[in-house]
Structure 1
Amino acid sequence: MAMMKRAGQPIIALALVAAVLTSCTNADENADAARATPPLRTISFNLYTHCGIDDARIGSTYFEAETPLSDGSGNPPEGWDNPFQHGTMTLKTETEAVFTDDAGHEVKFRARPGAKGFKRICS
């Protein structure tokens, strides 16, 4: 019976080593993934709507609406305040943001890499 215990010990030891190595690898991969994806941030935001909903500046980055909105005459659509709509901007990633407000509006934005200003400035 003593021989059986010894024979099984290397197998148990190898299983334990494999389990430890696997959990270390998964922990490292999870840490890398967490560092690669910035945390969600939601900020209070006044979206400029005077010429329609087309772009926004968040910090020093210019974003453009995935689907620009207007009334067809260069104004915000019906139901939007003018010249600003107050709400929140949620930064999903460094290049994706979503504006929402209490009226139920939602606009998705994508960063414009290298942009130094708004696409269009109206009077």
Structure 2
Amino acid sequence: MVLRYVRCIAAAAAAMAVMSGCATPAAPTIDASTSPGTTPVSSVPFALFTHCGIYEARVQDTFFLADQPLNDGHGNPPAGWGNPYQSGTITVAGSQAVFHDDSGHTVTFHERPGATSFLQTCS
């Protein structure tokens, strides 16, 4: 019984040595689209609030205004947009944020420096 226990431990130790000792370190990956001094840009999932039209967006603690606000003329999102939210992605690069969705909608926003809240709220 003790011999079987010792063999199991030896086999487990040998397997761990083989699995951990044979791999070479992973090579670091470099994003060739960025150069020193630039900030990498990436899109992140984003739920754009559309309930009263598309005017503003908040990404983390930064507030952005739409370059061209969108609504149906009655305080709602335009036809073809979700309500109260439209799912998509947003990409922030410097003072600009761009929203895209799978329906082909694109909205460009620009940062409101120093803003701490939305300009307008709706019910």
TM > 0.5 fold call:
yes
Q: How many residues align?
A: 90
Q: Deviation at 1:97? A: 1.0
Asked if residue 110 in structure 1 is aligned to residue 117 in structure 2, the reply is: no
- TM-score, normalised to structure 1, is 0.70
Partners in 1 of 2:110 and 2:61 — Cα distance? Answer: 14
| Counterpart position of 1:76 | 77
Match of 1:97 in 2: 97
Structure 1 residue ranges (4+ consecutive) displaced by more than 4 angstroms after TM superposition: none
Tell me what 2:66 maps to: 65
Q: TM-score, normalised by structure 2?
A: 0.70
* Cα distance in structure 1, aligned partners of 2:46 and 2:86: 8
Q: Percent identity?
A: 51
Deviation at 1:34, TM superposition (A): 3.4
- Name structure 1 gaps, 5 residues minimum: 1-32
Aligned to 2:46: 45
More helix by share: 1
The residue type paired with residue 99 of structure 1 is F
Which residue does 1:6 correspond to in 2? Answer: none
Stretches of structure 2 lacking an aligned partner (at least 5 in a row): 1-33
